[in-house]
Amino acid sequence: MTLQEFFSHHPHCALAFSGGVDSAYLLYAGIQAGAEIRPYYVKSQFQPDFEYRDAMRLCRDLGAEPTVLPVDALCSEAVRANGPDRCYHCKINIMSTIIARASADGFSVLLDGTNASDEAGDRPGMRALGELGVLSPLRLCGLTKPEIRRLSREAGLFTWDKPAYACLATRVKTGEAITNERLAAIERSEDWLFSRGYTDFRVRTSGESALLQFPEAQLARAQAELPEIRKMLGADFTSIEIDPKGRKTAL
């Protein structure tokens, strides 16, 4: 099945839209196929502001009208507790919110950007998608991440080379409570590192400590600048170290 064929069968649909590589290309493909596809962006504490800005920019570029839904990501005790099934409960919350609004707007089909490179074991929230009846056209059509990046580049989408980005909650060690204060500290730290030109890194936290994971190519610079990094991030963390193994970047 091609995406064109998929949208010929589903010409009227809602899209859970993050502004990342996958959902961006899916929105583009739906528009190109002539479908009525409406992007719904969930704005919560788990998404940094730059993700929201990217999502809105992509919608402007494609002439799509997004619906922004404010959601309290920490309204669920199961999410706040940050157990191994956190992603499942979070996905239920997010997708249920979109389904309710999309249904009120006249859409009975909800899509998401899961692709053929995403294995069920890699996404704890994938079970939630199945339970809620969310369709994943990129996965159904066999499109992998490298293919989606290539097609996005050919389409002129600025998201084609955007690094994979997991939500801020993934930075908190499993089993440690997620709080608004901790999320804000992580976002401040990552914003500052972004401003310094670092890319595709993570600020992992455990208690009051932060472990910074940089791609191998950025490790030497980060080690040299560690005193400055500690000074700038020290208001939020008592201990700041760099993972010497570096970070294996996603596709």
Give the model confidence (pLDDT) of 202-214 as tens digits.
999 999 999 999 9
Three-class secondary structure of residue 37 per DSSP: strand
| 50 or 249, which is more confident | 50
What is each CA distance from 35 to 13, 14, 32, in whole angstroms? 8, 10, 8
Domains of the chain, with CATH numbers? 3-161 (3.40.50.620), 179-241 (3.30.70)
DSSP label at residue 170: G
Q: With b meaning 16 or more CB within 10 Å and e meaning fewer, what string describes 26-39? A: bbbbbeebebebbb
In percent, how much of the chain has pLDDT > 90? 90
Q: How confident is the model at residue 174, as a pLDDT?
A: 94
Residue 80: both structure tokens together: 């706040």
Does 36 score more than 80 pLDDT? Answer: yes
Q: How confident is the model at residue 164, as a pLDDT?
A: 83
Single out the residue of 91, 95, 18, 87 nearest to residue 50, CA to CA: 18
Does 159 score more than 80 pLDDT? Answer: yes
End-to-end Cα, the chain, rounded Å: 24
Is residue 203 within 8 Å of residue 173, measured between CB atoms? no
Across 141-167, average pLDDT? 94
Does 118 score more than 90 pLDDT? Answer: no
Does 137 score more than 80 pLDDT? Answer: yes
Q: How confident is the model at residue 247, as a pLDDT?
A: 85
Q: Please give the Cα distance from 57 to 111 (Å, whole number).
A: 20
Amino acid in position 128: A
Does 26 score more than 60 pLDDT? Answer: yes
Residue 122: both structure tokens together: 């890699």
Across 169-192, average pLDDT? 96
Instruction: Report how many helices (DSSP H) and strands (DSSP E) the chain contains, helices first.
Output: 11, 7
